[in-house]
């Protein structure tokens, strides 16, 4: 039986609603970005995000239903991101979803945001060329502004997803944004660094950047050191301009991408997996997509990369994950609460210090 679910996503600075079927068909996906609101502050301001979600979400939900050609009464359930994310932002989406589910007498499903990203590869968007999705099991690199981790995914269920390694400190996307700020490139910084890196040559950069956790066993990552190296270079020499700026961006991006690709493929090999999936906002990075595909091909590993709309935060992935949960008979009560941390078990400890041998 194919189910149709309304999904709501407000975990950070995108206000989103979508209608998706349990076979992955995306009937609508409406996303309203808050980038312009937060750009003057150089990052997301939680109170501003929550307030804007509250103002925008009712209209976003209406548009999602209208674009799908459905009324709320026509959907089989309401799915909402309830973890992880900014507490106030999550609460806005959760309260809205509860009201809609209660008013229309529909089941409510809580979705972990990271699970949504890990399953986004299965979405089938109108106008996108149909590519066969991966089969389970596969390794997944989830890389964004708030999360960077490698998972083994054995099924489309939270309890069948296992973290293999993650960043000890900054997420990769966070490092991109902080380096962009150091270089005066504005917010969000990732896309700008990616564009400049495409015209730069990493080996011409006037700074030697460390390869994060290079040579270390295990699948943990760290991106604070490379960010600090760029900061020291800027402090000593000032912000480069022109080609020198592009070369520095290329060097930074190359170092981050090498770490992500190396750790992910090593994890896949250790787990005996021949498929790798990319997910999260940084999966839109052209350098990462190209390098992962190139290196993986040489090792007999198939790489699956979602279209750009499925990489960044969206409600379609939440609706899809919710539809699968609903199909398994899983639903939440109106006492569902938001949480700032994922329900996926962590194996990587934050911060420095010695680790136990793997």
List pLDDT tens digits, range 181-231.
999 998 888 999 999 999 999 888 877 787 777 667 789 999 989 999 999
pLDDT at 354: 54
pLDDT, mean over the chain: 93
pLDDT at 203: 85
- What are the structural domains, with CATH classification, of the chain? 4-127+310-327 (3.30.420.40), 138-306 (3.30.420.40)
pLDDT at 131: 76
| Burial of 95 per CB tally in 10 Å (0-12, 13-18, 19+) | middle
pLDDT band at 140 (very low <50, low <70, confident <90, very high): very high
Q: Give the number of residues written for the chain.
A: 358
The set of residues, in sequence order, having a beta carbon less than 8 Å from that of 220 and lying 6+ positions away, is 165, 166, 167, 168, 213, 263, 348, 355
pLDDT band at 62 (very low <50, low <70, confident <90, very high): very high
The set of residues, in sequence order, having a beta carbon less than 8 Å from that of 132 and lying 6+ positions away, is none
The set of residues, in sequence order, having a beta carbon less than 8 Å from that of 310 and lying 6+ positions away, is 120, 121, 123, 125, 316, 317
More confident residue, 263 or 207: 263
Q: What's the whole-number mean pLDDT along residues 165-187?
A: 93
Query: Is pLDDT at 240 greater than 50 in this prediction?
Result: yes
Q: List the 108-112 sheet strands across, edge first.
A: 26-33, 14-21, 4-9, 77-83, 108-112
pLDDT at 25: 97
Q: How far apart are CA 244 and CA 260, in angstroms?
A: 24
Q: What's the whole-number mean pLDDT along residues 149-160?
A: 97
Pairing of β 161-166 and β 148-153: antiparallel
Helix intervals (H) in the chain: 35-38, 46-68, 87-104, 113-119, 172-182, 190-197, 224-237, 242-271, 286-298, 308-311, 316-327
| Burial of 88 per CB tally in 10 Å (0-12, 13-18, 19+) | middle
Name residue, tokens 């996303």. 31
* Residue 29 token pair: 């996906």
Query: Is pLDDT at 273 greater than 80 in this prediction?
Result: yes
Please answer whether residues 61 and 8 qualify as being in contact, where contact means their C-beta atoms are separated by less than 8 angstroms: yes
Please answer whether residues 276 and 303 qualify as being in contact, where contact means their C-beta atoms are separated by less than 8 angstroms: yes
Q: Is the dihedral of CA 146, 164, 343, 275 positive or negative?
A: positive
CA torsion 30→36→41→47, rounded to 10°? -40
Give percent of the chain with pLDDT exceeding 70: 97
Query: Is pLDDT at 357 greater than 70 in this prediction?
Result: no
Q: What's the whole-number mean pLDDT along residues 136-150?
A: 95
Summarised one tens digit per residue, pLDDT across range 43-61 is: 899 999 999 999 999 999 9
Summarised one tens digit per residue, pLDDT across range 83-130 is: 999 999 999 999 999 999 999 999 999 999 999 999 999 999 998 877
Summarised one tens digit per residue, pLDDT across range 10-41 is: 999 999 999 999 999 999 999 999 988 898 88
Helix (H) or strand (E) segment spanning residue 138: strand 138-143
pLDDT at 358: 38
């Amino acid at each position: 039986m194919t189910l149709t679910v309304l999904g709501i996503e407000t975990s950070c600075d995108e206000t989103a609603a979508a209608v998706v079927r349990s076979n992955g068909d995306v009937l609508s996906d409406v996303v309203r970005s808050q980038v312009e609101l937060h750009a003057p502050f150089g990052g997301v301001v939680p109170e501003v995000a929550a307030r804007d979600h509250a103002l925008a979400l009712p209209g976003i939900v209406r548009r999602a239903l209208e674009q799908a050609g459905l009324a709320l009464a026509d959907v089989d359930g309401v799915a909402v991101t309830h973890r992880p994310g900014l507490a106030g932002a999550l609460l806005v989406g959760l309260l809205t979803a509860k009201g809609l589910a209660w008013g229309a007498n529909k089941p409510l499903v809580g979705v972990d945001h990271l699970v949504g990203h890990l399953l986004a590869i299965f979405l089938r968007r109108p106008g996108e060329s149909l590519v066969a999705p991966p089969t389970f099991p596969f390794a997944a690199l989830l890389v964004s502004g708030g999360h960077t981790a490698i998972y083994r995914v054995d099924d489309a269920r939270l309890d069948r997803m296992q973290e293999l390694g993650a960043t000890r400190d900054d997420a990769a996307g966070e490092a991109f944004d902080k380096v962009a700020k150091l270089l005066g490139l504005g917010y969000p910084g990732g896309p700008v660094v990616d564009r400049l890196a495409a015209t730069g040559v990493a080996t011409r950069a006037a700074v030697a950047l460390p390869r994060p956790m290079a040579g270390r066993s295990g699948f943990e990552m760290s991106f604070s050191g490379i960010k600090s190296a760029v900061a020291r270079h800027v402090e000593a020499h000032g912000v480069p301009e022109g080609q020198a700026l592009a070369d520095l961006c290329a060097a930074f991006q190359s170092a981050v991408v090498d770490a992500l690709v190396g750790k992910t493929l090593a994890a896949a090999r250790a787990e005996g997996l021949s498929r790798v999936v990319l997910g999260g906002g940084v999966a839109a990075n052209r350098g990462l997509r190209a390098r992962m595909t190139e290196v993986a091909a040489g090792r007999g590993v198939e790489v699956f990369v979602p279209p750009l709309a499925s990489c960044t935060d969206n409600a379609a992935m939440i609706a899809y994950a919710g539809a699968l949960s609903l199909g398994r008979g899983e639903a939440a009560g109106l006492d569902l609460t938001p949480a700032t941390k994922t329900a996926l078990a962590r194996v990587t400890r934050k911060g420095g210090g010695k680790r136990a041998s793997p």
